[in-house]
Amino acid sequence: MELTDLVRLFAEPVDLAVVLTDVDLERPGPTVLYANPAFARMSGYAPADLVGGTPRILQGPDTNREATRHLPRLLRAEGRFLGCLRNYRRDGEEYLCEIDVRPILDRDGAPQAYIAFEREVVRRRGRPAEGGTRRYRPTVQSPLPLVGSGMPIFA
Ligand SMILES: Cc1cc2nc3c(=O)[nH]c(=O)nc-3n(C[C@H](O)[C@H](O)[C@H](O)COP(=O)(O)O)c2cc1C
């Protein structure tokens, strides 16, 4: 079974937004291979509008370019990007998005694809308690934290 079909099988009913891309991190890549219905609800784009295109479609005037440039760098260097980006929905409304991107590795440890788990968050008022990710909370309460450890990048 193709990787994209496998990801579709598990991600289709999941509430967390899931997007799968190919491994080409050089512009104009990466290319979206699959986006789940939760991703479509969050972004306002139909999966068919996303597949074959670039996740940059979600960027807008206030997207932090420093953070987006970090994304491919960290994926190459550390095999993970964990952070918060300012994304834009199809109707132009912006939203803060917590993004956890990892490679899917083949048997030899080479990336076959990248998968991102994304969810909308809001910035907490006041000073963060401990650890950067506490600065944000999900807009929809979920029993499990999306991110546990790692070095977060913030918009
Ligand atoms: C799986 C995956 C999901 C991504 N999701 C987003 C996203 O939601 N928002 C965003 O601004 N960039 C996202 N990106 C990053 C862009 O595709 C791109 O890599 C980034 O903008 C850096 O390239 P650039 O500096 O040439 O723009 C994602 C990348 C990958 C691999």
Domains annotated for the chain, with CATH where assigned, are 3-138 (3.30.450.20)
How many CA atoms lie within 13 Å of 7's alpha carbon, on the beta-carbon side?
23
Q: Which of 30-34, 37-41, 110-114, 139-143 has the lowest mean pLDDT?
A: 139-143
User: Each residue of 65-119: pLDDT tens digit?
Assistant: 999 999 999 999 999 999 999 999 999 999 999 999 999 999 999 999 999 999 9
Q: Which atom of ligand 1 is nearest to the CA of 59?
A: 11
**How many Å apart are CA 29 and CA 19, to the nearest integer?**
14
What's the whole-model pTM score?
A: 0.88
The reported pLDDT for the residue numbered 142 is 57
Q: Is 87 in the pocket of ligand 1 (CB under 6 A)?
A: yes
Q: How far is the CA of 131 from the centre of ligand 1 (A)?
A: 24
Of 17, 15, 13, 29, nearest to 97 by C-alpha is 17
Q: Which ligand 1 atom sits closest to the C-alpha of 101?
A: 1
> What CA–CA distance (Å, rounded) separates 9 from 25?
25
Supply 14's token pair.
């999941």
Residue with the two structure tokens 């956890």: 100
> Given the CA of residue 114, which atom of ligand 1 is nearest to it?
1
Cβ–Cβ < 8 Å for 119, 140: yes
pLDDT band for position 2 (cuts 50, 70, 90): very high
Average pLDDT, the chain: 90
